[in-house]
Every structure is written in structure tokens, then in C-alpha cells.
Amino acid sequence: MSKRRVVITGMGILSPVGNDVATAWKNVVEGNSGIGAVTDFDTSAYNTRIAGEVRNFVAADAFFDGVPTPTDEAGIKALEDERRSIAKDFKRMDPFIHYGIVAGAHAFRQSGLVVTEENAGRIGVAAGAGIGGLHTIEATAIELNEKGPRKVSPFYVPSSIINMVAGNLSIYFGLKGPNIALVSACTTAAHNIGMAMRLIQYGDADAMLAGGSEHATTTTAMAGFCSAKAMSTRNDDPTHASRPWDIGRDGFLLSNGAGMLMLEEYEFAKARGANILAELVGFGMSGDAYHITSPSGDGAELAMRNALHDAHITPEDVQYVNAHGTSTPVGDLGEAKAIRNVFGDHATAKGKFAVSSTKSVTGHLLGAAGGVEAIFSVMAIRDGIMPPTMNLVDVDPEVAALGMDLVPNKAEKADLNIVVSNSFGFGGTNGTLVFRRV
């Protein structure tokens, strides 16, 4: 059976480096870090006191970014009514839901797709989060303890459960096709994008809004990762704390945001004259079957091999890999070795292949990471630019011995046709996406 082609027609992002695609991409290419002191709560008792926050963001306003102002009285009133309704809804939602809805709205509107009574059942949503509504869960637990069960909001559950990004986007835009939310830790967005691709390929949908979101800088999340000694403690030098493959790396940094893509079947998009940004040609998954938090590297290798096989391409066809690269001692080395194994001698071909980690400036957006990095992969193809791995001052000797170009500290121009994006998560869950120029 021949699978249908899947293309990207819209993208939306919220991140520590920008709340729109153009700004975020510019900062990533220029190596401008979005890491700073945590402002959501008092971190004085925490070993790690820095993270990547979404700044200058008012959800109810951002939802309407790009919406033209009507000129007629009836249109103006309708928009004002919608603004009030959205603002009321948003008061009952966890921040991660805000991020996912707004990024999804931006991606949907960029695509120019018009939902009708005829096509609504063929357009769906696949969006999740790695840890979901911890902010709301924490606040509700305190309220329950201090005031009793009668004071718990009736909106507590729908304001915190992970599938509410997909659910609300479906409601707001009238999307009656598949409505799903895959949850797989830091591979969440990649898996949602990949499974949305499958739904389109095999005819269950013609278009899917897909990705992930996260609000990770909460008291319990920060405390848990600190206790696990998983995060960097370079609190006095936040912009240089995330340093994938550098010998001085000491852990990742939590970040907030969302990355959403509008995926469409190629002929469906072409027929309506959509602006096609890139094609999604491959998706691979695997499981480490090794350890709940420590990666083996074997799973990463298998996910990449599966993705290349799915795309019907060879390792030599790939010019750039946007790595998972979180700045952890074990994870970075394991992924680097896996990439070298998959791409063989091609991985060391200067000017023909390179790897970099944009988490060096964004931090780790957990369940949203794969969505944000899918966007960066598409932008890399569009502009012919491989974004840098910042803070790579002294390459880990074991990584250096692999002989790969890690795009240290400065973006590199390249003629990019095919780009790979990796996402790996706790529990040994792995996902790889392959994008191609159209």
C-alpha cells in the first residue's frame, strides 16, 4: 500500500527564545540564550535556580495574534465577545494548556486552512505534554489541605489533564477528526507529530494540528529534578549553563513553551493552494528497555534507523541532525555515539553532515521539545542554516573522537535537503522525525 505524502503548512511556537517563529528562529541562529533566573516562585532553597521561561506572554491576548480587526460593527462586536469568552476560559486552564492552544492557533492560522461542515471530520488534533498540569495540581493540593474538599474547583480536572490542549483546540476551531494526546515524557511532541503523520498517511485524516506543550518550572518539578541531580547548577552563569557535548556540562535546564505544526496530506494542501513549508517524510520509534532515566544509546540508534527506513532514504541523504542534546553527561555521549553508528563515515564528512543542539539556548522543554525542534528543523531547511551548539568551548574527548561537526558557537550555512530531529525521554522512549525540502 502506498502511503500518502504529508507536508507542513503552519507552525506556532512559544519558547524562552521567542513567542513567534521568526523571533525564536533568529535568536537560535544568533545563539541568544533564553535561560535566566526562575521568576515563578522562590527558588532560594533549590540547587538549581535557573530555567527557560516564556516571557511577555498574556495568553488571552496572544491567542488573537494575527487576527484582523473587523471594520463593520457586527464583526467588531463578535470579536469582542469572542475575546471575553476566551479570557474567561483561560482563567480555568493550567499554563501548559495556554501555551499549547496559542501555539496551535498560530500554526492553524498560518496554514490558511478553512474548516467547513464538509471537511471538519477529516481535520484533527494530536497534542500532549510530558508532565502536564503540575502548576494546577500543586495549587489544588494546597487548597485541599488548607480549606477542605468543598473548596476544590469544579474545573480542577479539566484544567490540568494533558489531553486538554487537543480538546480545546478541537473546540475552538471546530476540528472533528481524530482528537488524541500521546504522553511519552520528552518524546511527547515528536510522537504526536509522528502519529498525526501516520493518521494522514493511512487515510484517517487529511490534516492534523500536532505537537506538544509544557509548563515545567513548578515547585515539585524543579524539586524532583534537583533531587535527581539531573539539572545544571551554574546558577551564576545561566546563559552558559546548557552546554551539550562540552566537557563541563553538568545537566539540563527546565524550560516552558509549546511547538505546534499544521500537517496536511500533500494533494489536500496543494488543491487549496497552501504554502508548503516542508515535507515530513519519516518517523521512527523505539524503546531502550534499559533504565527509567538513563539512556542506553541503542534505542536512539534504532529510532533513527527506523525513521530513515520509513523515509526510504540512506544515511548519506541526510545533511543535518537536530539532536536531542540536553547537556547531560550520559545522554549527550550516548546520542553522539548513536548518530555516528547510524550515519557511519558520512557523519564525519566535513561540509556534508553536521549535528547541533538548540537546547544550548532554549533549555529543555520536555514534552514540547520535539515540537519546537521540528520547527527549527523546518526553518533550517528553508533558510539553509544549521543553528549552532552554543557554549561548546571544550568538547568532551569521547565525543570529539567521533569526528563529527557539532556546529560550535556559530551557525553554519549549508544546502539542506533532508534534516533529522531526535527526541528521547525517560522510560527509554525514543522518536525521530525526518523532514525534506519540497
Question: Which one from 98, 135, 215, 364 is the annotated catalytic residue?
Answer: 364
Question: Which one from 98, 106, 215, 324 is the annotated catalytic residue?
Answer: 324
Nearest Cα to Cα of residue 316 among 354, 352, 279, 356: 352
Active site includes 364?
yes
Nearest Cα to Cα of residue 220 among 39, 41, 4: 41
Beta-carbon neighbour count of residue 273 at 10 Å? 8
Question: Which one from 98, 106, 135, 186 is the annotated catalytic residue?
Answer: 186
Active site includes 312?
no
CA dihedral 15, 17, 22, 26 (to 10 degrees): -150
Active site includes 324?
yes
Q: Cα 55 vs. chain centroid, distance in angstroms? A: 17
Beta-carbon neighbour count of residue 2 at 10 Å? 5
What is the sign of the dihedral through the CA atoms of 37, 40, 43 and 48? negative
What are the residue numbers of the active site?
A: 186, 324, 364
